[in-house]
Amino acid sequence: MGKDDNFTSISDADKPNAGRIYDYILGGNHNFEVDRMAAQKILGLVPFAPQLFRLVRWFLGEAVMRLSKQGYRYFIDFASGLPTMDHIHEITPKGTKVIYSDIDPIVVAYAHDIIKDNPDVKYVHCNAGAPEELLESDITKQMFGDNRDVVVGLNGIAYFMPDENVAHFMKTLYDWTGDNAKLFFSDTDAPENPKDDLQKFLEIYKQLNQPVYSRNKKKMLELIKPWKVDEPGIMLLENWVDVKTKVTKELTDKWQGGGIYGAILKK
């Protein structure tokens, strides 16, 4: 992004931003040199990060397409990041209503510029740890009316949330949504005692004021209650998108744990 780009007026180009780092690693162009430098530190520890991040985004696409085929036309996504690179509104049928949200006001400002005046898409500021702020807002009523049989997204963000916030999110959305609502999420099956390289990776995100919380799948299955796992069950992201990749093996060899998995939940 050049110094004359209009994004410089809505963000701090002197500090790395987690959303822009993610965008850069995914191959996007909504990032600054400071973000690319931080991304290179991550890539030094996790050279397979581009494939890993793409898997997270591909899983979102796969879950959204499956649910769209089931007739869902209302989506509410938390901690959305930048709405580029095959995000929800780009892969759902015309007329689908999508509400994106993020805790980072810089990301929200970027998103407004990207989405522009699309009447079916809104992007709002919201902390996924307190989803009631968005659920009780006028924007949700405006977009969804009284329909609460919606699809909820929590993709690639649960590991940025402490256990109590994940549990609060799951219970709050369960109580708010209709009987036919669905929720898709992905998380890491991480080791209880992180190895040195993982500790260094966690420290980078801590310095970005975006700490990462390490938990295993057994713990996450407790936190998702009272939601239930829908078909086809909990699977590694590679299996969801049917690609042959070495990401999980590299991840487990380097950090142990069981890789990154995804699931669709139902009531």
Predicted local confidence at residue 256, as pLDDT: 63
Rounded CA-CA distance 9/56 in Å is 30
Residue whose pair of structure tokens reads 């938390």 in the numeric block = 78
pLDDT tens-digit readout, 129-145:
999 999 999 999 999 99
Indicate the residue type of 179: D
Q: 167-185 burial string, b = 16+ CB within 10 Å, else e?
A: ebbbeebbebbeeebbbbb
Predicted local confidence at residue 246, as pLDDT: 66
pLDDT tens-digit readout, 153-181:
999 899 889 999 999 999 999 999 999 99
Indicate the residue type of 187: D
pLDDT averaged over 10-residue windows placed end to end, the chain, 267 residues: 40 73 83 90 85 88 97 97 83 96 87 91 96 96 97 94 97 98 93 71 80 89 97 93 72 70 97
List helix spans (H) across the chain.
Answer: 18-25, 33-45, 49-69, 88-91, 105-115, 132-135, 138-144, 163-176, 196-207, 217-223, 237-241, 247-255
Taken in order of first residue, the domains within the chain and their CATH numbers are 57-194+218-266 (3.40.50.150)
Q: Are 108 and 122 in contact (CB under 8 A)?
A: no
